């Protein structure tokens, strides 16, 4: 309890201290944003490559993709991070090399969450109605054209909520990177602790992550509204801007049908934070 009272008493001086340390905190923020954005981009590329490869007609391609996805889902993010940071440099020539801490963070986050996201991509493409595929051949579109112009735009609208959740997971996972000497915002705020006390420093850190997570939510909600609008399943962003601020996991504006479809793709993927099933 004295923690809470002390927290309120020292709020003013502590905020002043934050201002004094702002350059360092901003450095940390930059590192966190950089790992989170680059990690997510890598994850997205991996997700599409290995998600689509799992749907390939060639068995070898499918098999390799499955092994890759199961391996990176199964071996735990922190282990992968430590492996890249500690084991990789110890491997003998020509295998061993030391990566920049930033690269270690981005690679571990991208590989791990990319594997989860690959399942989302696979699940969403699997839940595009069969008739759409039939329509592609009926219109004699080439398979590639059909994939990129018909299937993926629809699957994209389905996968955004799950990808949004995964991106927040990735952001949260990035808080571990200071263990491999990448000085992110959590590390920089932790340095405040001996001056400000535990309550202030950690509340500040939690709040910072919460705000970044909301930026991701708003961005992804915007993408979802746009994607739905483009395939004619929802209002334009201009009229539906209120749903930008919809918390993840709450019933989306799309109503019942959207929920069911979303849950089906999530249930198939078994991602963390994927929401429930109907």
Partner 1 sequence: MTPQNSWWSWDHAFAVLPDLLFEGFKITLVATVLGTLIALVLGLVVAIIRRSAPRIISTPFTWVVEFIRMTPLVVQLVFANLVLSPYVDSSLSIGIWVLGIHYTTYMAEVYRAGIDSVPKGQWEAATALSLPRMRTWRAVVVPQAIRNTVPALGNYAISMFKETPFLFVIYVPELLNVAQNYGSTYFRYTEAITLAGLIFLAASYPTSLLIRRLEKKLA
Provide the minimum distance between the beta carbon of 219 and partner 1 in the complex, in angstroms, as a whole number: 14
From candidates 121, 209, 227, 240, binder to partner 1 by CB under 8 A: 209
Which C-beta is closer to partner 1: that of 99 or that of 267?
267
Largest CA distance in the chain: 72
Site string for partner 1, 108-137 (x = CB under 8 A): ------------------------------
Q: How far is the CB of 115 from partner 1 (least distance, A)?
A: 11
Q: Is 27 in the site for partner 1 (CB under 8 A)?
A: no
- With contacts defined by CB under 8 A, name the span among 12-20, 126-134, 146-154, 206-214 that binds partner 1: 206-214
156 binds partner 1 (CB under 8 A): no
Compute the least distance from the CB of residue 209 to partner 1, in Å.
5
What is the distance between the alpha carbons of residues 204 and 272, in angstroms, rounded to a whole number? 26
Asked if 36 is part of the footprint of partner 1 (rule: CB under 8 A), the reply reads no
Asked if 63 touches partner 1 (CB under 8 A), the answer is: no
- Contact pick of 58, 59, 138, 247 for partner 1 (by CB under 8 A): 247
Nearest residue (CB) to partner 1, 82 versus 133: 82
CB of 92 to partner 1, least distance (A): 5
Q: Binders of partner 1 among 75-104, rule CB under 8 A? A: 75-80, 82-83, 86-87, 90-92, 95-96
173 near partner 1, judged by CB under 8 A = yes
**Is 183 or 214 the residue whose CB approaches partner 1 more closely?**
214
What does the chain look like in DSSP terms, one character per residue? -HHHHHHHHTHHHHHHHHHHTHHHHHHHHHHHHHHHHHHHHHHHHHHHHHHHHTT-SSHHHHHHHHHHHHHHHHT-HHHHHHIIIIIGGGSPTTT--PPPHHHHHHHHHHHHHHHHHHHHHHHHHHTS-HHHHHHHHHTT--HHHHIIIIIHHHHHHHHHHHHHHHHHHHHHHGGGGGGGT---HHHHHHTTHHHH-HHHHHHHHHHHHHHHHHHHHHHHHHHHHHHHHHTTSS--TTT-GGGGGPPTTSPPTT-HHHHHHHHHHHHHHT-TT-----
Q: Would you state the structure tokens that stand for residue 94, as one six-digit string?
A: 């020509």
Position 10 contacts partner 1 (CB under 8 A):
no
The upper half-sphere exposure of residue 115, i.e. CA atoms within 13 Å in the direction of its Cβ, equals: 20
Number of residues that bind partner 1 (CB under 8 A): 54
Q: Are 263 and 278 in contact (CB under 8 A)?
A: yes
Using CB under 8 A, list all residues that contact partner 1.
3, 70-71, 73-80, 82-83, 86-87, 90-92, 95-96, 168, 171-176, 179, 186, 190, 193, 198-199, 202, 205-206, 209-210, 213-214, 247-249, 263, 267, 270-278
């Amino acid at each position: 309890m004295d923690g809470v009272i002390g927290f309120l008493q020292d709020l003013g001086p502590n905020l002043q201290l934050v201002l004094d340390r702002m350059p360092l905190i901003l450095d940390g923020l930059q590192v966190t944003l950089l790992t989170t954005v680059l990690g997510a981009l890598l994850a997205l590329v991996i997700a599409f490559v290995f998600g689509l490869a799992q749907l390939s007609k060639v068995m070898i391609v499918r098999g390799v993709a499955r092994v890759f996805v199961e391996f990176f889902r199964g071996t735990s993010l922190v282990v992968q991070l430590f492996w890249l940071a500690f084991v990789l440099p110890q491997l003998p020539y020509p295998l061993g090399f030391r990566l920049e801490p930033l690269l270690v963070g981005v690679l571990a986050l991208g590989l791990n969450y990319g594997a989860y996201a690959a399942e989302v991509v696979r699940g969403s493409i699997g839940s595009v109605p069969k008739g759409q595929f039939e329509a592609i051949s009926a219109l004699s579109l080439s398979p590639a054209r059909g994939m990129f112009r018909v299937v993926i735009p629809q699957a994209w609208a389905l996968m955004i909520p799950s990808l949004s959740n995964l991106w927040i997971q990735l952001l949260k996972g990035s808080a571990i990177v200071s263990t491999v000497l990448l000085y992110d915002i959590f590390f920089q705020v932790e340095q405040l602790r001996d001056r400000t006390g535990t309550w202030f420093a950690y509340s500040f850190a939690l709040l910072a992550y919460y705000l970044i997570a909301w930026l991701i939510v708003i961005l992804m909600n915007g993408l979802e509204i746009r994607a739905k609008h483009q395939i004619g399943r929802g209002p334009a962003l201009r009229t539906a801007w209120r749903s930008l601020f919809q918390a993840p996991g709450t019933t989306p504006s799309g109503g019942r049908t959207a929920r069911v479809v979303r849950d089906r793709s999530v249930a198939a993927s078994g991602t963390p934070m994927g929401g429930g099933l109907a």
